Amino acid sequence: MFLILGVPIAFSLGLASTFFLFFSGTRIPPLILMTQMYGGIDSFALLALPMFVLTGELLNRLNLTERLIEVARLLVGWIKGGLAHVNVVTSMFFAGISGSVLADAASIGPILIPAMIRERYPPAFSAALTGASAVIGAIIPPSIPLIIVGGSMQISISGLFAAGIIPGVLIGLFLMITSFLFAIFRNYGDIHRFEGVIPVARGTFRALPVLVIPFVILYGILGGVMTPTEAGAIAALYAIVLGTMYGFFQGNFSVHKFINAMVGTARVTGSSLIIVGAAIVFGQILIFHQFPQGLLDVVLNLTENKILLFLIIVLFFLFVGTFMDAVANMIILGPLLMPIAIEGLGMHPIQYGMFLMIGLLLGVITPPLGIVLFIVAPIAKTSIERTSIAVLPFLLAELFVLTLIAFVPFITLGIPRLAGIIN
């Protein structure tokens, strides 16, 4: 009801919990709920959240995204459907910096969508691909949603970061295959020639200060040198130093960019933690009333077939993702669906964490209310309806990868096992 009235998700959860406590006769001491809420937020793991957000904010405001686009153009721009592939690869690069779907779409969209339209890509197709590829921004580490999932559900964040590498690459690959097929059969895009190894090397060298960030983070975490929180602090410090040096060398150093980055970080972090706190209270009420166990019993009584269980969960993900914030969904639904995924589908907790996050993130591009569609459609100067139709092939490609994640454990557990994070 509160969501229908336009109340922000955090306040909707808080108000719903408050009304339920006062009018349902539930005997849960409010002090216990407040303690649970504070304990959920007061987490060392969640300290990584503002660090990675700050890193992305700084690098984005310094316009270093253009260097990533240039590298992607040199690497894959010569393939049929060139700019579409550049769009996807840039999102994969940017994922290692921002860790955010919305940041990816908002940063890359204004640059690549107009460029794609100029090269005869339909506006709706350009917007849809940008929205679909932005999902990668929260999968390839560092990932803001994975930090929240790991911190709130007591799943290894290091393990989740390692688990996100292969799924992120697979989604990027299948989006590129889909784009290639459209370019072949509908003749989208201009044809570009490969410029040679030297220009690729030169472009990579120019972007190296940015490209090195995700590799340092992953090496530090997977090598056991630092925790995700420590990696976030190092990444933020590096971004500050790089931003200062870049500003002085370019002659456009501005304190305002740093201040705006800090303000943006505070806004994103604050809103995320408010949602986390409100969702924890809501989730505790559901647990008190044994809703997770009841849901497990209902679903397992319906069917024990793994394929049907998978379809039920995925359809539920897509449904709730259209009208609720992905972060709130992860915190509320994560504990509820975990017994079904582990007992019914035989998933490992890390595998389930990735499955949960990607499944709920697809809601941001699911018609008719996918939030990312409302970001990319105006940039392309096209309607939400056309963008919603154009995104369906890309949504199917990402659903195929989600299916692989559910039924092929190696995709998510292979690298964590090789790194010694899990047995």
- Residue 287: per-residue pLDDT: 64
Tell me the per-residue pLDDT of 58-98, one tens digit each, with 9 for 90 and over.
777 776 667 777 888 888 888 888 888 888 988 888 776 66
Q: Is residue 100 part of a domain?
A: yes
**Mean pLDDT within 341-354:** 87
The token pair at 135 is: 């999902």
- Which amino acid, residue 397? A
**Mean pLDDT within 3-28:** 63
- Residue 254: per-residue pLDDT: 72
When pLDDT is cut at 50, 70 and 90, the band that residue 252 belongs to is: low
Tell me if residue 42 falls in helix, strand or coil. Answer: coil
CA angle 273, 275, 277 (to 5 degrees): 70
Q: Are 9 and 275 in contact (CB under 8 A)?
A: yes
Q: Are 105 and 372 in contact (CB under 8 A)?
A: yes
Q: Are 412 and 405 in contact (CB under 8 A)?
A: yes
Q: Is residue 93 part of a domain?
A: yes
- Residue 236: per-residue pLDDT: 81
Q: Is residue 302 part of a domain?
A: yes
Q: Is residue 33 part of a domain?
A: yes
When pLDDT is cut at 50, 70 and 90, the band that residue 167 belongs to is: very high
CA distance 9 to 18: 14
Domain tally for the chain? 1
Higher-pLDDT residue of 127, 214: 127
In this predicted structure, the answer to whether residue 2 has a pLDDT above a threshold of 70 is no
Most trustworthy range by pLDDT among 8-17, 193-202, 231-240, 409-418: 409-418
- Residue 177: per-residue pLDDT: 94
Mean pLDDT of the chain: 78
**Mean pLDDT within 112-126:** 88
Q: Is residue 325 part of a domain?
A: yes
**Domain range for 378:** 9-21+28-418
- Residue 171: per-residue pLDDT: 94
In this predicted structure, the answer to whether residue 131 has a pLDDT above a threshold of 80 is yes
Higher-pLDDT residue of 59, 377: 377
Quick one: what percent of the chain has pLDDT higher than 70? 76
Most trustworthy range by pLDDT among 118-132, 208-222, 318-332: 118-132
Tell me if residue 68 falls in helix, strand or coil. Answer: helix
| pTM (2 d.p.) | 0.79
Q: Is residue 48 part of a domain?
A: yes
- Residue 397: per-residue pLDDT: 94
- Residue 280: per-residue pLDDT: 67
Buried-exposed string 141-169: b where 16+ CB fall within 10 A, e elsewhere = bbbbbbbbbbbbbebbbbbbbbbbbbbbb
Q: Is residue 405 part of a domain?
A: yes
Q: Is residue 2 part of a domain?
A: no
The token pair at 367 is: 């018609």
Higher-pLDDT residue of 23, 127: 127
Write the DSSP assignment of 174-237 as a string of letters. Answer: HHHHHHHHHHHHH--S-------HHHHHHHHHHHHHHHHHHHHHHHHHHTTSS-HHHHHHHHHH
When pLDDT is cut at 50, 70 and 90, the band that residue 394 belongs to is: very high
- Residue 366: per-residue pLDDT: 80
- Which amino acid, residue 214? P
Quick one: what percent of the chain has pLDDT higher than 90? 13
